[in-house]
């Protein structure tokens, strides 16, 4: 009961605190819109041609979703950790019953809701603007929701590690971008594996985003809801590890 009470208080505070930062909320939704418009509408895909965007539009759906699933938690949780450290908030929290894991869980829950909404918005946008053909049902959408939630949790954990390691908010943003950009393009998202050198392809399996990408692609293809569940398990296991490491890395002392 008391844990529920603590989590509820922390989620409520974080929810209000985030949603009232209008610029942050705006760009959470606007940034993926820009990506879809640039790559999905202006560049467009050429399934019969060569070049980067040679796959059918549906192939790139995991990549578009990854824009919010990857970037937002990394930068948001990382910055929040930096702000908490700068404002001596962790020092204060260390003397309250709220544990570091509970703090990160509260941050994660807020991110899951906000990014889940952004992902649904993005999915509709991709279908409407790029003509991507997806096999969507209630079960598929629910499964997509699970993928998004698990991946967001994973990257919240990684964001906590970045925030705890960087010495400033600027450092968090720089580190987040340095980590997220390679992951975004080298996780079987926008760049198909056969476009990468053979020697590099095994490295793609090291990216957690790869399992999100493959799972989402399998879930939205005709293969059915049951396909790709193995990737979901891998993703969930990684999320657990990253959340644990993230919670452990949060500052408790100066």
For other proteins, the closer CB: 88 or 165: 88
Contacts of 78 by beta carbon, 8 Å cutoff, 6+ apart:
159, 160, 162, 163, 166, 172, 173, 175, 176
Cβ–Cβ under 8 Å, residues 184 and 66: yes
6 binds other proteins (CB under 8 A): yes
In the complex, the smallest distance separating the C-beta of residue 114 from other proteins, rounded to whole angstroms, is 14
Collapsing DSSP to helix, strand or coil, 158 comes out as helix
Q: How many CA atoms lie within 13 A of 26 on its CB side?
A: 3
Q: Return the range that interacts with other proteins (CB under 8 A); candidates 41-49, 87-95, 150-158, 242-250.
A: 87-95
Is the Cβ of residue 89 or residue 201 nearer to other proteins in the bound state? 89
The residue within the footprint of other proteins, chosen from 96, 194, 198, 222 (CB under 8 A), is 96
Report the residue number, 21 or 38, with the smaller CB distance to other proteins: 21
Asked if 127 is part of the footprint of other proteins (rule: CB under 8 A), the reply reads: no
SS3 content of the chain, % helix, strand, coil (to 5): 75, 0, 25
Window 98 to 117, contacts with other proteins (CB under 8 A): 98
**Helix axis angle, 61-86 relative to 169-185, nearest 10°?**
160
* Segment 64 to 83, residues that bind other proteins, using CB under 8 A: 83
17 binds other proteins (CB under 8 A): yes
- How many Cβ atoms from other residues are within 10 Å of residue 112's Cβ? 20
**Minimum CB–partner distance for residue 5 and other proteins (Å):** 6
Residue from 91, 129, 201, 249 in contact with other proteins (CB under 8 A): 91
Q: Under the criterion CB under 8 A, does residue 167 sit at the interface with other proteins?
A: no
- Non-local (6+) Cβ contacts of 215 within 8 A are 147, 228, 229, 231, 232, 235
Q: Are the beta carbons of 94 and 25 closer than 8 angstroms?
A: no
- The minimum distance between CB 141 and other proteins, in angstroms, equals 32
Q: Toward other proteins, which CB reaches closer, 86 or 230? A: 86
Half-sphere exposure of 242 (CA within 13 A, CB side): 26
Q: Does 97 bind other proteins (CB under 8 A)?
A: yes
CB of 106 to other proteins, least distance (A): 10
Count the residues of the shown chain that bind other proteins, applying the rule CB under 8 A: 29
Candidates 13-21, 143-151, 165-173, 215-223; binding stretch for other proteins (CB under 8 A):
13-21
Taking phi over 0 as left and psi of -120 to 50 as alpha, with beta for the rest, 131 belongs to left
Binding of other proteins at residue 216 (CB under 8 A)?
no
Residue 97: half-sphere exposure toward Cβ, Cα within 13 Å: 8
Binding residues among 39-58 for other proteins as defined by CB under 8 A: none
Measured from the CB of residue 9, what is the shortest distance to other proteins in angstroms? 2
């Amino acid at each position: 009961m008391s844990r529920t009470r603590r989590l509820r208080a922390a989620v409520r505070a974080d929810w209000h605190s985030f949603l009232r930062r209008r610029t942050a909320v705006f760009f959470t939704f606007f940034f993926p819109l820009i990506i879809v418009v640039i790559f999905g509408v202006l560049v467009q895909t050429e399934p019969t041609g060569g070049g980067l965007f040679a796959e059918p539009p549906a192939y790139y759906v995991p990549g578009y979703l990854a824009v919010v699933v990857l970037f937002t938690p990394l930068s948001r949780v990382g910055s929040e950790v930096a702000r908490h450290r700068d404002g001596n908030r962790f020092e204060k929290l260390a003397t309250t019953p709220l544990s570091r894991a509970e703090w990160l869980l509260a941050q994660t829950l807020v991110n899951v809701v906000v990014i889940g909404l952004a992902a649904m918005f993005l999915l509709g946008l991709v279908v409407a603007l790029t003509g991507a053909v997806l096999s969507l049902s209630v079960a598929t959408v629910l499964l997509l929701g699970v993928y998004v939630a698990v991946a967001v949790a994973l990257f919240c954990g990684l964001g906590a590690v970045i925030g705890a390691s960087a010495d400033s908010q600027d450092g968090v943003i720089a580190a987040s971008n340095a980590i997220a950009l390679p992951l975004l393009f080298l996780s079987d998202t926008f760049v198909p594996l056969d476009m990468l050198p053979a020697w590099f392809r095994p490295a793609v399996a090291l990216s957690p985003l790869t399992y999100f990408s493959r799972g989402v692609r399998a879930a939205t293809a005709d293969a059915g809801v049951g396909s790709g569940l193995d990737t979901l398990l891998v993703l969930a296991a990684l999320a657990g590890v990253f959340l644990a490491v993230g919670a452990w890395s949060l500052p408790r002392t100066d």
